[in-house]
Structure 1
Amino acid sequence: MVSEYPIYTFPGANVSLSKLKELQCMSCSELSFYYGLAQICRSIEKISLMLFESNSGIAHLIEMQTRIKYLCVYVDDNDYGFKDKNESKKEQVSGENKHKRIFQALVKHADSILYFMLWIDRSFPFCLFPQLINLETLKLINDLGVEQRLFEKQLEMASFPNLQVLELTSISLSIATKIIENTNGNLWKVKIESSDFNNTIIYIRAIINYCPNIEYVSLFINNQNLDELKRLLISCQRLEGIELLIKMAENVRFMSEKFFYILVSLAPTSLYKIQIDLRIFSLKTLDLFFINWRGRKFLHLYPLITWRSTSDSLKKYEIEGIIKYCMDNSFWYIEKYEEIEWED
């Protein structure tokens, strides 16, 4: 519901709103509200779009901006119970993408967009990916389980020479690898949330070959790729934190002694944060690892799952100053990096 006196009609609105830099847009809001803002606002740089239905007012507002730099898009064409009051009968009959005009408006800003966060939906025009040539941060969330073939080709075609931060959720390692291979050595953070352990070797090789400046990375480890882990630790000398996701086939024992030997003997001196599920290791194996870590940088250890018996046994190594057992979610918090915040 829109007020009888919209904000852009208030005294002094021309001055105050002309300086607006950030806006959250919901397509279920009235068209007139966004058309009114578009008459005043030209300097919006950070915009969040929650799209449930067509809204030409949002499209017009986007078109009128000088340069959009930070973009977050959430699309849900199931409408969550919203009545699509703005969708024309022509759109309903033809099946035309109800957000087409909004997406067309975004193309105007493709060159200026530095940060892009997308909750993937079938209706999103994935042809926009190759046009985002100046991206520095790319975050893709596929929680809806959209078929990856729908956007895989466009991501393979895209080139992201300036990309520094890549975060993917529920997206295959093969697609992650293609994105990494289309960068230009500037990636320093790669965070992957996935249960996919296919193509782990080509993924690790992509990190080795295309990410000389990598500092934080998710690694998917099994017995078959331990030699690639060796190469990565030797090649990536700026590593500060690694998230280690270990998965073995049923009735196959993980080569934990070899794994920890590789970590101790080859980890760069810069490495001081590890996130890992400690439950798969015996206390004897962990004891040996921590003893061998003596003399290295103070190790911040983040358990993926807290296990009481393990945490109790590690206290002596904390007292000795070998490790710090971090029972929080701050592994991916990086002091030098100012995370872009979005309103819920």
Structure 2
Amino acid sequence: MLVIDEDCLRLIFEELCDDRCTMYSCLLVNRLWCEAVVPVLWKDPWKFLNDLKDFKRDEQFLNTILLHLSKESRNNLTSRDDINKYINIPQQQQTPLFNYINFIKYIRKKYQCLNVKNVCHQFFYDCTFKYILEQEVYKLLISKCASLKFLDITDMKYPLHEYSGATTNLSCIKELQCKSCDSEELFYGLSKICNSIEKLCVSYTSSNPGLAELIETQNNLKYVKILVNTNAKKIMKWEDKCQMIDQAIIKHSNKLIYLDIPIESISLSFYINLFPQLINLQTFILDGNMLCDTKLENQLLFSSSYSKLQVIHLDCVSFFTAKRLIQNTVQNLQIIWTNNICFDTEDQSKNFIRIIYQNCPYLKYVKFLLKGQYFEEIEQLLKICKFLEGLYIDVDHRINNYLNGDELLDILIRFAPNSLYKLQLNYCEFETKSFNSFFIEWKKRKSLWLYLNNINIKSDNDFKIEFIDLIKKYKDEKVIKICELNEKFNFINDYIEL
């Protein structure tokens, strides 16, 4: 009988960590498997909570947490009648099978999504009770979670930095999620403990010198995601109140390899100072935030060379901004993903495809919008981008109605590189026989991942039955691996960069 040691088992289970059913089954195999699975499941237990409002699981999770409370914490809770009324606190220490708390590496704000009133099956509950119970739980987590990697302090009301074990257990935090309006004192406290944060996600709503101090003191900040309250310009003047936070982020600009940020007119100087210094950026996610303000974007300054940039995701930016970014990437781009690029003319849509294939010979994934039947440009893209794996063609149906899908399929068969196997098409019109011919030719290639949204199939018969039968036939023959007719599906979703 083949015996696998515990280290190998854990590596396997790490790969299966999102497959809850399989992981639960593995718990029951034997003691060795159980001891290997439990640390993986409890590394980030929050992701298994509130699945389909399964509050039974929430209750079990909270009860398991409470089993680890210290005698002092239990006494503090059980001495209060208002708490005993809602939840049964263990009267004496019951020894769990494992020290589950010690395995936790992520503290997510999802704990508040447990919502004590649901766990206790009450419609109303005392806010004081909720505060005291959560405080004891956070004290437990901070003191016992020895290898924390992720911390979410959004709307946090507790002085985590003052809890026992904070100096040691919070010092290894690699990822922080917060709001700029969170507790200033908490930020100041964390700035003295957490200096190894690599990933930062901030929801900007107001000024906070404590947050600026925390960002300033980081030694290896590489990933930054900024969310901006769309009402921010109504409640503050950005330039005056967020300047400290802006300057703290700019200080790390030449170290950043990932930036996800919206463009806001109220903070233009921030971008003008930040963008040219992003010399090591590898992933750039830029959201125009529906401003479509060409005059504003024309004032933006970019680096003359983003030599390491490999991924750009552009949403609601102007053609001019997209063009400048792509042309400054020194031919290293592997993913270009665009939504709602603001084209002033139909020709700009055509020129955009040309800019892509002229500057991105090593492209692997691309999504662009067509405002015309630009088959010659698509052909050139397929010829030049010989490493292309995924192609998403979106069609502006307000102009084209439907793209001639039959001609597109013919071009794909004749010119697509052998590396291409993921294809997503939106607002195209086909004849069933064209798909049949396409699949016959595709037999020589890697199994196809096909996503079709808002398509029109011309047929004398019931095209749905005919097309479904066709798909089934070629799935059975392994020509097609995946075929989805739902626009919610998107082949780029398996790319963690986005």
Worse-superposed segment, 244-253 or 42-51: 244-253
Give the total of aligned pairs: 327
Work out the CA distance in 2 between the residues paired with 1:34 and 1:253. Answer: 53
Letter in 1 for 2:311: V
Change (3 A) 1:249 1:29: closer
Larger Rg: 2
1:53-92 matched pairs, under 5 angstroms: 53-76=206-229, 78-79=231-232
Letter in 2 for 1:246: V
Work out the CA distance in 1 between the residues paired with 2:351 and 2:400. Answer: 25
Unaligned runs of 5+ in 1: none
Corresponding residue to 1:112 among 252, 255, 263: 255
Residue 224 of structure 1 and its aligned partner are, at CA, apart by 4.7
Work out the CA distance in 2 between the residues paired with 1:80 and 1:104. Answer: 19
1:34 equivalenced with 2:192 (yes/no): no
Partner of residue 271, structure 2: 126
Corresponding residue to 1:10 among 145, 159, 163: 163
Higher relative contact order (CA 8 A, sep 6+): 1
Partner of residue 324, structure 1: 481
Question: Could you tell me whether the CA contact under 8 Å between 1:274 and 1:302 is conserved in 2?
Answer: yes
Using the size of structure 2 for normalisation, the TM-score is 0.60
Work out the CA distance in 2 between the residues paired with 1:330 and 1:173. Answer: 24
1:240 equivalenced with 2:389 (yes/no): yes
Partner of residue 49, structure 2: none
Question: Could you tell me whether the CA contact under 8 Å between 1:142 and 1:169 is conserved in 2?
Answer: yes
Structure with greater proportional helix content: 2
Work out the CA distance in 1 between the residues paired with 2:227 and 2:439. Answer: 44
Change (3 A) 1:70 1:144: same
Partner of residue 149, structure 1: 295
Residue 267 of structure 1 and its aligned partner are, at CA, apart by 0.5
Deviations along 1:24-56, whole A, 9 cap, x unmatched?
Answer: 121221211111111222111111111111111
Unaligned runs of 5+ in 2: 1-154, 457-462
Work out the CA distance in 2 between the residues paired with 1:253 and 1:333. Answer: 25
Residue 326 of structure 1 and its aligned partner are, at CA, apart by 2.8
Question: Could you tell me whether the CA contact under 8 Å between 2:209 and 2:244 is conserved in 1?
Answer: yes
Question: Could you tell me whether the CA contact under 8 Å between 2:404 and 2:428 is conserved in 1?
Answer: no
1:19 equivalenced with 2:176 (yes/no): no
1:1-344 matched pairs, under 5 angstroms: 3=157, 6-76=159-229, 78-79=231-232, 96-124=239-267, 125-127=270-272, 128-145=274-291, 147-156=293-302, 158-194=304-340, 196=342, 198=346, 199-221=348-370, 223-247=372-396, 254-277=403-426, 280-305=429-454, 309=464, 310-327=467-484, 329-334=489-494, 338-339=496-497
Residue 204 of structure 1 and its aligned partner are, at CA, apart by 1.5
Using the size of structure 1 for normalisation, the TM-score is 0.84
| Percent pairwise identity | 35
Deviations along 1:85-115, whole A, 9 cap, x unmatched?
Answer: xx7xxx7xxx743211100111110111100
Work out the CA distance in 2 between the residues paired with 1:28 and 1:254. Answer: 48
Worse-superposed segment, 220-229 or 183-192: 220-229
Residue 248 of structure 1 and its aligned partner are, at CA, apart by 5.7
Residue 304 of structure 1 and its aligned partner are, at CA, apart by 2.7
Work out the CA distance in 2 between the residues paired with 1:132 and 1:180. Answer: 14
Work out the CA distance in 2 between the residues paired with 1:25 and 1:194. Answer: 29
Deviations along 1:207-235, whole A, 9 cap, x unmatched?
Answer: 21221211111133465521121111111
Question: Could you tell me whether the CA contact under 8 Å between 1:177 and 1:202 is conserved in 2?
Answer: no
Change (3 A) 1:248 1:285: farther
Deviations along 1:106-135, whole A, 9 cap, x unmatched?
Answer: 111011110000133223322111111110
Work out the CA distance in 2 between the residues paired with 1:255 and 1:167. Answer: 27
User: Partner of 1:42: helix, strand, or coil?
Assistant: coil
Change (3 A) 1:207 1:294: same
